[in-house]
Amino acid sequence: MSAPVRSRRTSVADIRALKGVRPIVSLTAYTAPMAQLLDPHVDFLLVGDSLGMVVYGFETTLPVTVEMMIAHGGAVVRGSNRSLVIVDLPFGSYQASREDAFRTASRILSETGAQGVKLEGGEEMAETISFLTERGVPVLAHVGLTPQLVNSFGGYKTQGRSEAEARKVRADAAAVAEAGAFAFVLEGTLEPLAREITAASPVPVIGIGASPECDGQILVSEDMLGLFNEFIPRHVKRYANLGASVGEAAAAYAADVKARVFPGLENTFQPKRGA
Ligand code: KIV
């Protein structure tokens, strides 16, 4: 009997090779069923620490723990079989030292089966990115608007408006690519700057609220599906309104329960003939 044929997962090398060939497609996923639905349509799934806000109802991503990322990372790996899966390193688990970063990243990779990690930061994280990549941990970097710095930025603000800010975003992008990141997310920058950075970068630039000219795009799935209404960033295009559908379905179910109407159960609890 021949072994079942399993399609190979996309690798970080495959993602790198897409630069200049075609746009890279990515979405976030936090659960196995959502990963299963998205898997056929994306190049990589990101288990983002945005799950702190979207799934757990926190106001920021800062309270997210390594244990949460491992639980959700494992679920997304089990729910998918062709996309690359990347898991975010949560706030406080990697910034203090490159050794801390390696300990967290290696635990996440070995306990979830994901193929890489994402971390936020530019020049200040370059040494850590080299340390990780040289030790077998592929890194997706994240520069521009980095949500874990919300307290330092004083909110979720577009980065690169002034020439000094633009210089910083440019330097961060160059530093993470030079340090060995296989790609980086560029979030919340003005379009001309994003276009310029994408043209100059040797590795793929994945935009979010940056520019259609980036090498690829990522969105929080619940934002684009209309499932998360607490905070809708300006860059999000809604491709569905599932929040409204869930509300309508719940209302219809409640009406059936109250009216004791259960079409699906009509035959289930009938006494057996002759009983
Ligand atoms: O946490 C996250 O989901 C992210 C993406 C939105 C890029 O960082």
In three state form, how does the secondary structure of 109-138 look? HHHHCCCEEEEEECHHHHHHHHHHHHCCCC
What's the pLDDT score for residue 3?
A: 54
What's the pLDDT score for residue 234?
A: 74
> Which residue reads 């399609």 in tokens?
7
Catalytic site residue from 120, 187, 196, 222: 187
What's the pLDDT score for residue 260?
A: 87
Report which protein residue has its CA nearest ligand 1's atom 3: 48
What's the pLDDT score for residue 166?
A: 96
> Rounded to two decimals, what is the model's pTM?
0.93
CATH class name, domain 12-258:
alpha beta
Distance 64 CA to ligand 1 centre (A): 13
**Backbone φ and ψ of 66, nearest 5°:** -60, -40
Mutate to test the pocket of ligand 1, among 76, 185, 189, 236 (most ligand atoms within 8 A of CB): 185
173: which residues sit within 8 A by CB, 6+ positions away? Answer: 122, 143, 184, 186, 197, 200, 201, 205
| Domain positions in the chain | 12-258
What's the pLDDT score for residue 5?
A: 53
Q: What is the pLDDT along the chain (275 residues), one digit of tens a residue?
A: 555 555 699 999 999 999 999 999 999 999 999 999 999 999 999 999 999 999 999 999 999 999 999 999 999 999 999 999 999 999 999 999 999 999 999 999 999 999 999 999 999 999 999 999 999 999 999 999 999 999 988 888 888 899 999 999 999 999 999 999 999 999 999 999 999 999 999 999 999 999 899 999 999 999 999 997 766 777 788 999 999 999 999 999 999 989 988 766 666 666 666 65
